[in-house]
Amino acid sequence: MKNHILNAQQKKAVEFDGKHVLVLAGAGTGKTRCIVGRAAFLIDQGMEPEKIQILTFTKRAANEIVERVKASLTDNQAQSLNGSTFHSWCNQLIVRYPNLFGASGYTVIDPDDQLSVMKMVCGDQLVEYKGIRIKPQQLLDIYSYGRNTRKNLSNSIREKIFKGKTDEETNDEIDIIRPKVEVLLRAYQTKKSEGRYIDYDDLLLIVANRLRNDAEARRILSHQVKHLLIDEFQDTNPLQWYLLEPFLEIAKFYCVGDDAQSIYSFRGADYKNVHLFKERVPESEILILNNNYRSTQEILDLSNWLIETSPLEYKKKLVATRGSGTKPKLINIASQWEEANFIAENILENFTENNKNFIDHLILSRSTYYTKPLQAVFIQKKIPYVTYGGRKFMEAAHIKDIVSALRVVNNIYDEIGWMRFLTFWDGIGEIKAGKYISKILEFKDPLDCAQNLEDAIGGTEGEKIADIYNSIFMNSGNVKKAIQETYSKMELQLAFKYRKDWEEKRKSDVPVLEMLGENYATIGQLISEGILENAKQLNGNPVLEGSQLNDSEIKDHVIISTVHSAKGLEADVCYVLNVSPKVYPSAWNLSSDENIEEDRRVLYVALTRAKNELYITRDTNSITTVNSSETSEVTSKYFLENLPENLTEQFVNPYTIVKPRDILTPNKIDLSEGMDFS
């Protein structure tokens, strides 16, 4: 094993020889380094890498950890090490043990598809649906929240629709809508099982329930999973814990987390779960790491101050091993364009004069939406960038169209797949498609399906659709070929449907999908795993959002990320955008102390990403206008309201487009000048 530099506390954590452990430590103290070190240590000690499972919140984090473990070992020792998200791990288990989990022939549906199913349900159950003022997406939110937090329906409705309120009026309203919501959610469940759909939460529940109730399943998996290495443990929610619990008996847990960085309560995470670790996990220990290796002390002073002003006690004070640097800069800006230009100029200056690369810059925002002007300025100034937190490759409409053809061959009961595939063709609307689907659902033998389709739909459309079905069916053992054949038969219509940007943007995604197909043995695997993994990483090359395939060669780019997608990231220079009143905390959250504290942790995560330079921007209009009594609550709760002067350097409009100085009284002009009429 190549040498990892570890301090004494980290070494102790990496070489831990008890059963279960939680490494509980602040930002930048080396938790990720410990996970990497632990995996390498275990493999070095002779543990087979395929029996170590690393669990992280994003595929990106998993890939990075696995790559780092591989780099720290020699001779491909870690070749078969597995790192994934909870969802994709469960999906892999389900695919690997089709009989044990009984889910073969099912289709995993993504959130867009879930919404389609819920819309169909609301259409079918109009009486109930009209009786509530809740949108299909909100119904899904209630459903998912209930399952993730394991709270009952009334409380899930309270949380998702009534912001947690417990007054009498709210209770009455919940009592009225609850039965209707129940009918709709039950109908959604029925629709799922009829269509043989598995939604993301089902993946976890299928594995969890099997393991909890079946000793044979535990015995089988005990040969497969010996060590679970879990990152960001503070953000695991009750459903994830429900899944993990049966593994306590068969595997050793190695968890790392930081209660001050818990930012996923909207998905049911409860940062207090780290405090319950010893109670929940028998034969466990908690280890602490104290020293921050990432940032200079000035950045940590500001972060420490933010957390100290919280009424919650995190018992944390980060100390920099790197010593002191420059103070964070608080930039007051007058508009988003000014902010964008300031950041762009700053980055270009660093690039051309200060020997920094684009990748040394990380921009953090609460939402991707807010960064649109910034992206526009980057494009204009030719600054390469990637975004974390946007639409994913497999979610793009044209890809979904092609995949819909594969889906229906994979699972003939897949109504969502049929709806998309049939309505893709001109002349088939939703109503016509619905009629065809009812006929299709009665087909028995997949071998006759093509012929039956031709008969049911009729005309040239019927022929075309049957032909596509047939060629996918014939190539079901060669996924790439199946995609190529499908595409060749859909190309004309695709080019027509997306005529606005087909040639420039979308078309180049097709070879990507084909390449992706090569990695899978069956269409079913491509669909279930492809949807989850979203092809960000393909044969070692990053595939950027949407269709920016051409940019994949660019390795040096600025990263624009939402704070929620920035877990574990770090950069030399960080820009935290729009730390203004009504944003930190968000205006939506002012009435809930819990939500305010979650927002504080969001800001804490953002600030602690910076290694050397931290820029915080703030909208000047927001601070000059929050004076009226109506906004006094906003002001008093604003996180930077009482910011001690010595913690930052403040600038007002440093790069403002300076107006030339003019005289006070305007001169007169004469418009009859300049033309010679002689």
Ligand X SMILES: Nc1ncnc2c1ncn2[C@@H]1O[C@H](COP(=O)(O)OP(=O)(O)OP(=O)(O)O)[C@@H](O)[C@H]1O
Q: Which of residues 36 and 251 has its CB atom nearest to ligand X in the complex? A: 36
Q: Which of residues 25 and 596 has its CB atom nearest to ligand X in the complex? A: 25
Site string for ligand X, 596-635 (x = CB under 6 A): ------------x---------------------------
Annotated binding residue at 555? no
Question: Considering only 24-32, 214-222, 578-586, 655-663, which stretch makes contact with ligand X by CB under 6 A?
Answer: 24-32
CB of 232 to ligand X, least distance (A): 8
Query: Per CB under 6 A, which of residues 558..597 are in contact with ligand X?
Result: 568, 570
Q: Which tokens sit at 216? A: 């044979």
CB of 269 to ligand X, least distance (A): 15
Nearest alpha carbon to residue 3 among 29, 50, 42, 41: 41
CB of 5 to ligand X, least distance (A): 4
Question: Considering only 2-10, 212-220, 579-587, 591-599, which stretch makes contact with ligand X by CB under 6 A?
Answer: 2-10
Query: Per CB under 6 A, which of residues 272..301 are in contact with ligand X?
Result: 293-294
**Cα-Cα-Cα-Cα dihedral sign, residues 48, 54, 60, 61:** negative
Given 9, 32, 88, 262, the residue binding ligand X (CB under 6 A): 32
Using a CB cutoff of 8 Å and minimum separation of 24, what contacts does 512-515 make? 512/393, 512/538, 512/543, 512/549, 513/399, 513/402, 513/403, 513/483, 513/487, 514/480, 514/483, 514/484, 514/487, 515/480, 515/539
Q: Provide the 3-class DSSP secondary structure of residue 94.
A: helix
The count of other CB atoms within 10 Å of the CB of residue 426 is: 10
Annotated binding residue at 31? yes
Query: Per CB under 6 A, which of residues 59..78 are in contact with ligand X?
Result: none
Question: Considering only 30-38, 337-345, 503-511, 573-581, which stretch makes contact with ligand X by CB under 6 A?
Answer: 30-38
Q: Is 7 in the site for ligand X (CB under 6 A)?
A: yes
Q: Which of residues 144 and 612 has its CB atom nearest to ligand X in the complex? A: 612
For the chain, the straight-line distance linking the first and the last C-alpha, in angstroms and rounded, comes to 93
Annotated binding residue at 25? yes
Question: Considering only 6-14, 146-154, 165-173, 207-215, which stretch makes contact with ligand X by CB under 6 A?
Answer: 6-14
For 47, 311, 603, 640, the CA distances from 600, given in Å and listed in that order, are 41, 11, 5, 10
Q: Is 30 in the site for ligand X (CB under 6 A)?
A: yes
Q: Which of residues 294 and 557 has its CB atom nearest to ligand X in the complex? A: 294
Q: Which of residues 11 and 227 has its CB atom nearest to ligand X in the complex? A: 11
Q: Is 28 in the site for ligand X (CB under 6 A)?
A: yes
The count of other CB atoms within 10 Å of the CB of residue 351 is: 17
Given 13, 14, 21, 31, the residue binding ligand X (CB under 6 A): 31
Nearest-10 Cα torsion for 480, 483, 489, 490: -150
Q: Which of residues 356 and 420 has its CB atom nearest to ligand X in the complex? A: 356
Nearest-10 Cα torsion for 489, 491, 494, 500: -170
Q: Which of residues 32 and 148 has its CB atom nearest to ligand X in the complex? A: 32
For 12, 27, 290, 343, 496, the CA distances from 318, given in Å and listed in that order, are 20, 8, 7, 28, 57
Q: What is the C-alpha to C-alpha distance for residues 10 and 17, in angstroms, rounded to an integer?
A: 13
Annotated binding residue at 26? yes
The count of other CB atoms within 10 Å of the CB of residue 595 is: 18
Annotated binding residue at 29? yes
Question: Considering only 21-29, 73-81, 161-169, 650-658, which stretch makes contact with ligand X by CB under 6 A?
Answer: 21-29
In a 13 Å sphere around the CA of 581, the CA atoms on its Cβ side amount to 19
Q: Which of residues 200 and 233 has its CB atom nearest to ligand X in the complex? A: 233
The count of other CB atoms within 10 Å of the CB of residue 644 is: 9
For 326, 331, 342, 346, 578, the CA distances from 339, given in Å and listed in that order, are 21, 9, 5, 11, 9
Q: Which of residues 49 and 568 has its CB atom nearest to ligand X in the complex? A: 568
Given 21, 22, 27, 142, the residue binding ligand X (CB under 6 A): 27
If DSSP states are collapsed to H, E and C, what string results for 379-418? HHCCCCEEEECCCCHHHCHHHHHHHHHHHHHHCCCCHHHH
Given 258, 270, 360, 461, the residue binding ligand X (CB under 6 A): 258
Residues of each annotated binding site for ATP? 25-32
Positions at the binding site: 25-32
Binding site for ligand X (CB under 6 A): 5-7, 10, 25, 27-33, 258, 261, 293-294, 568, 570, 608
